[in-house]
Amino acid sequence: MRSKVLKSCLALAIALAASLGTVEFAHAQAAKGPSGLPLPRFVTLKSKRVNLRIGPGTDYAVSWMYLKSGLPVEIIQEYDNWRRIRDADGTEGWVNQSLLSGQRAAIAAPWMKTKAKGVFVNLRREAQPSASVVAKLEPGVMLTIGECNGDWCRAETDGAAGWVAQSEIWGAYPGEAFK
């Protein structure tokens, strides 16, 4: 009996956590920045060289330089023509909006990069867990995203195209849908 009660409580807690995640996403997307666009939101770096600054302006020191265009970042704040961004590693700073693109990209399970070898993210032929695997992606692989339906994202990397579970990437919010 005690085991059944514990299992029921665990199932309820998981369901509650899942619904709170969806509510949190909906609430986060309800906030608008001065640009009129939602905050937070994912974008990509437009240029191959992007300075990350400690403040919103060229008078502020450069704390980091990104050397890869197409890298997904999250805009978390806006000030004039400057955007405070966060990358997949959690690094934050300011970049000029002209260096950002509305194109979408993602990184396959960056939180798994330091885990044991042999951990992969499956790129599937269709948007379902039983679909055949098109490619096995190592954590940290960058993907171009065409659309997401809230559970799956249509993605492409190095000539392989398919669907990846939205929960296994950084670059789309849980439950977010777009085309």
Residue-range domains of the chain with CATH: 41-103 (2.30.30.40), 106-178 (2.30.30.40)
Is 41 in contact with 176 (CB distance < 8 Å)?
Answer: no
Binned at pLDDT 50, 70 and 90, residue 139 comes out as very high
Taking alpha carbons only, the member of 49, 70, 75, 74 closest to residue 156 is: 70
Give the pTM: 0.81
Average pLDDT over residues 88-100: 98
Residue predicted with more confidence, 76 or 6: 76
pLDDT at residue 9 tops 60: no
Are 136 and 125 contacting, i.e. CB atoms less than 8 angstroms apart? no
**Averaged pLDDT of the chain:** 86
Diameter over CA atoms, the chain: 66
